[in-house]
Amino acid sequence: MSGLLIKDFPPDLHRKLKEEAARHHRSMTRQALALLEQALSAQPKNAVELLPRPIKPAKRVTKNNIVTVIREGRDSKKTSQPR
């Protein structure tokens, strides 16, 4: 059977894998294999499925709406900055 060595394994990811393995009563190796098998056997998604659904604005977006929102944002930053 082939082996796999993972270098520079991020500590946070290592901890999560260890916790997940314990939850499923598996060794870390068996858990990593199960996760890889699951990920690689899943149907590939096309790009459209990965994108979030568009959000419909509550009101019509116009140039004036955009300018107003930008100005309000700038004004609120000016008043909230400590001097």
Centroid of chain to Cα 32: 20
Residues in the chain: 83
pLDDT digits over 43-69, tens only?
Answer: 777 888 788 888 887 878 888 888 988
The domain ranges of the chain are: 10-43
Residues 38 and 16: their CA atoms lie apart, in Å, by 17
pTM: 0.51
Dihedral-angle region of residue 63 (phi above 0 means left; psi in -120 to 50 means alpha; beta otherwise): alpha
pLDDT digits over 11-55, tens only?
Answer: 999 999 999 999 999 999 999 999 999 988 877 778 887 888 888
Above 60 in pLDDT, residue 83?
A: no
